[in-house]
Amino acid sequence: MNWRGVRLAAVFVALIYQGCVDEESELIEQRSCSYDFYYEPEGRPKSVAVIGDFNGWQPWELAPAKPSGFRGSFTIGTGRHAYRYLVDGKEVLDPENPLTIFGRDGVEHSALVLEDCTCPTWRVKSAEVLDAQMRLVVEFVASASTRLPLDYQTFVAMIDGHQLTESFVTPPVDDSGVFTIKSQELPKGKHRLQISAKDAGGVETQPFTLPFWVEDKAFDWSKALVYQVITDRFRRGGEQLDTSAGITFRNGGNWAGITEAIKDKTFAKLGVNAIWISPAIKNVEGEWPGFDDRVYQAYHGYWPISQREIEPQFGDKRDLHQLISTAHQNGIRVILDVVPNHVHINHPWFSQHRREWFNHPNIDCVCGRECSWGADIEHCWFTDYLADLNWKNAEVLDAVLTDIAWWIHEFDLDGLRVDAVPMMPRLVTRHLRDLTNRLFPAEAPHFYLVGETFTGSMGRDQIRWYLGPYGLSGQFDFPLMWALRSVIGQGHGSMTSLLDELDEGTKAWAGSGAVMSHMIGNHDVARFITVATGDESNPDAPQPSNPEPYKLTALAQIFVLTQPGIPVLYQGDEIGLAGGGDPDNRRPMPAVLTAHQQSVLDQVRVVGRLRTDTDAFTAGKRSDLIRSDDHLVYRMDGVQDFAIVALNRSKTPVKVMVDVNNTDTEGLKDCLGGLVSPHDDGKLEIVIPAMGAQVIAPNCSG
């Protein structure tokens, strides 16, 4: 695309206000430096005041306000502040504010995060993408301290780093500061619109970035199908992986290899529209002891020694930019794994701030050794070389969030996977959500935050604790994962318990607005196929030759792929790759597949692409048609599409008759190639293969 770099000065010169440009304008909006406190009491207190670090914890009285609250507006400085309400002399948290921060006396207080009100900014009035064109109406908002108007000669609007010419920008007809920006037709993919300017006093506006997508179908995260990439074990650009060093050392995977996979449609063939990649931050060199008497290299990315340096083993900044831009051009979102809980002891922070920024600087509280994984999880060290950050120090929170903001902006990320969520106070993920809300206007796509709260089969309450509109967008549904492994992988219990598990999860997450992630495994547990063979305790589990565990692996994947939520394919699970516990579950991807592995891949591809093309699974309501110990049949009804899913874990085929609720049965077919026999009475006769599935739909275009 050719963009001419012509400034807008010629257009705007005639619009500079009659009179001096440094005069205040009454027509433009102005920021306020006041913060409005409002407290709605449960009873009838006589007095309410606000106390905080901004007033030396001395009370500022609030006045009674209709109908039954107390209100007061005060000027408070820029930054992150701790405060509480003083209600008839008793301190209470602000019940309407989800943000907290450690402050006075080392306890949690309500938190304010205030921007610099003396800096002019922008306010979006409307934004939409129509016919591959972005149309944005944006308003200049003047500094609270001066109310000086915009210096039009400094106005610059850019899309994807290319400056827009005057033909794409309609300036204000008066000095109201309202601009209309309309792009030319843009190619499919993700784009960024950025605006910069100065006011008449030379003060720069706050940075303005609006990411947006041009695509055939509107996306939200309920429509995502995520592929988890262990960068070091996935693919090496232009070369084979080097596995000679062994499973605990680097195998040579890099970002160029992931970019190749995007280009050769590896992900598109699976229906994948989002990838989760390993941490990109620079990690420690050398070998470090594991829990199993072996030494390890930091191939996984979870031992950072920097905050903004790139991991050189994966490539350079250009390689990471290329990966992400290629993904965006192909309609794929990118989720980056981040590690806010800890740093490696070789990180400069540990030598510079050991006593102030870290819990247990004497390394005397390692989880599971001197300290408990339960009671001490928020402050114990993961190992004696991974220093646990002390979130009671506000400088730590500011430093970590500032660096995460840099990664988000620098690499145009679409989401983050947050490592080790329970090892940090909940306030960390809430401030992370607050950060992403502030980085972009409300009209931007939702920035997805998914957390890792590793639990057992009864962990819903712990998982739920971190969800909500002011918290994580979703979490990994570990209780469902364990149920799938038990019921399908090991043949325990009844297949109906899987549907019950889904329903219990739906109840648990209700009201949170979360879009949960479902999976059959991840990089911290033995592979599903290895569980199905009973070899999960084997640190070098064999790749099975028997077709049965491959069939069960495909069956479990199909269950996940046909449910609302976000299916997550952990690399290798789409082919039935074997592996015991960590690190055996992180084997490199094979260059050549066996016939059994290819069979799993073929089924996952069909159902994955069908999921992307239909709303039956992404927005569908489930109706259970048959519930039995060894087989299930359920119908998924979306807004536009429907599908019928039949699953059988037994070793013999099952013939069933299904009432499809008066739906025309003509044209229905099994997208996996099985036999479907329609009857005149609106019923379907289907044969569910042994340890197999049918996914029946009127259109199998996926």
CATH number at 688 reads 2.60.40.1180
Coil vs helix vs strand at 179: strand
Residue 1 forms part of a structural domain: no
Average pLDDT over residues 98-116: 96
301-317 pLDDT per residue, tens: 999 999 999 999 999 99
Angle between helices 595-613 and 547-561 (to 10 degrees): 10
Considering the domain boundaries, does residue 71 fall inside one?
A: yes
Please give the pLDDT value at position 544: 98
Q: Pick the last residue of a domain from 579, 613, 647.
A: 613
The amino acid occupying position 526 is: A
Residue-level pLDDT at 15: 33
Using alpha carbons, select from 475, 473, 464, 404 the residue that is nearest to residue 445.
Answer: 473
Out of 14-18, 136-140, 363-367, 529-533, least confident range? 14-18
Please, which pLDDT band fits residue 127 given cuts at 50, 70 and 90?
Answer: very high
Nearest to 215 by CA among 192, 186, 189, 191: 189
Whether 161 has a pLDDT exceeding 80, the answer reads: yes
Q: Is residue 248 a contact partner of residue 229, using CB atoms and an 8 Å limit? A: no
**What local confidence, expressed as pLDDT, does residue 369 receive?**
96
For residue 479, CA distances in Å to 354, 503, 569, 585 come to 38, 12, 17, 20
Residues 276-334 pLDDT 10s? 999 999 999 999 999 999 999 999 999 999 999 999 999 999 999 999 999 999 999 99
Query: pLDDT tens digits, residue range 184-212?
Result: 999 999 999 999 999 999 999 999 999 99
Give me 78's structure tokens.
């820029």
pLDDT in the model for residue 175: 75
* pLDDT score of 66 more than 90: no
Decide: helix, strand or coil at residue 192.
Answer: strand
Residue 417, pLDDT above cutoff 60: yes
370 domain-assigned: no
Query: Residue 366 falls within a domain, yes or no?
Result: no
pLDDT confidence of residue 372: 98
CA distance 200 to 197: 10
Say yes or no: 490 and 629 in one domain.
Answer: no
Q: Give yes or no: residues 86 and 165 share one domain.
A: no
Q: What is the mean pLDDT of residues 347-366?
A: 98
Q: What is the pTM of this model?
A: 0.95
User: What is the percent of the chain with per-residue pLDDT over 90, rounded to a whole number?
Assistant: 90
Q: Where are the beta strands (DSSP E) in 79-201?
A: 79-87, 90-92, 100-102, 108-114, 121-130, 133-142, 150-159, 162-163, 169-170, 178-182, 189-199
pLDDT at 16: 31
pLDDT digits 0-9 by tens, 584-636: 999 999 999 999 999 999 999 999 999 999 999 999 999 999 999 999 999 99
pLDDT band at 23 (very low <50, low <70, confident <90, very high): low
Strand partners of residue 91: 86
pLDDT at site 24: 60
Please indicate, yes or no, whether residues 147 and 53 belong to a single structural domain of this protein.
no
Give the end of a domain, one of 114, 129, 154: 114
- In the predicted structure, residue 12 carries a pLDDT above the cut 50: no
Whole-Å CA distances, 162 to 4, 6, 671: 8, 10, 45
Q: What is the pLDDT of residue 662?
A: 67
Query: Does 21 share its domain with 67?
Result: no
Full DSSP string of 455-499: --TT-HHHHHTTBSTTSBSEEB-HHHHHHHIIIIIS--S-THHHH
How sure is the predictor about 486, in pLDDT bands with cuts at 50, 70 and 90?
A: very high
What residues contact 146, with CB distance under 8 A and at least 6 apart? 24, 118, 199, 201, 203
pLDDT tens column, 529-560? 999 999 999 999 999 999 999 999 999 999 99
The type of residue at 562 is T
Give the model's pLDDT for residue 245.
94
Residues 488 and 606 in one domain: yes
Instruction: Please indicate, yes or no, whether residues 572 and 650 belong to a single structural domain of this protein.
Output: no
Residue 383 lies in a domain: no
pLDDT of 9 over the 50 cut: no
Q: Are residues 151 and 231 in the same domain?
A: no
Is 321 domain-assigned?
A: yes
Output the CA–CA distances (angstroms, integers) from residue 612 to 37, 217, 274, 516, in the order listed: 46, 10, 11, 17
- Helix (H), strand (E) at residue 350: helix 348-357
Per-residue pLDDT at 209: 98
Is 412 within the bounds of a domain? yes
CA distances from 474 to 134, 461, 513 (A): 29, 14, 8
Q: Specify the number of domains making up the chain.
A: 4
Domain membership flag for residue 110: yes
Tell me how far apart the alpha carbons of residues 85 and 243 are, in angstroms, rounded to a whole number. Answer: 60
Higher pLDDT: 67 or 479? It is: 479
Q: Do the Cβ atoms of 696 and 672 come closer than 8 Å?
A: no
| 558 and 676 share one domain | no
Can you tell me the distance from the alpha carbon of 687 to that of 499, in angstroms, rounded to the nearest whole number? 21
pLDDT at position 192? 98
* Domain encompassing residue 686: 621-697
What is the structure's pLDDT at 8? 34
Q: Are both 225 and 199 inside the same structural domain?
A: no
Helix axes 394-411, 348-357, angle to 10 degrees: 140
Residues 95 and 231 in one domain: no
| Pair (417, 512) in one structural domain | yes
Identify the band that residue 26 occupies on the pLDDT scale cut at 50, 70 and 90.
Answer: low
For residues 553 and 683, membership in a common domain is answered with no
Give the CATH number, domain containing residue 136.
2.60.40.10
| Residue at which a domain ends, from 188, 214, 240 | 214
Question: Is the Cα torsion angle 358, 362, 363, 369 positive or negative in sign?
Answer: negative
Mean pLDDT of all residues in the chain? 94
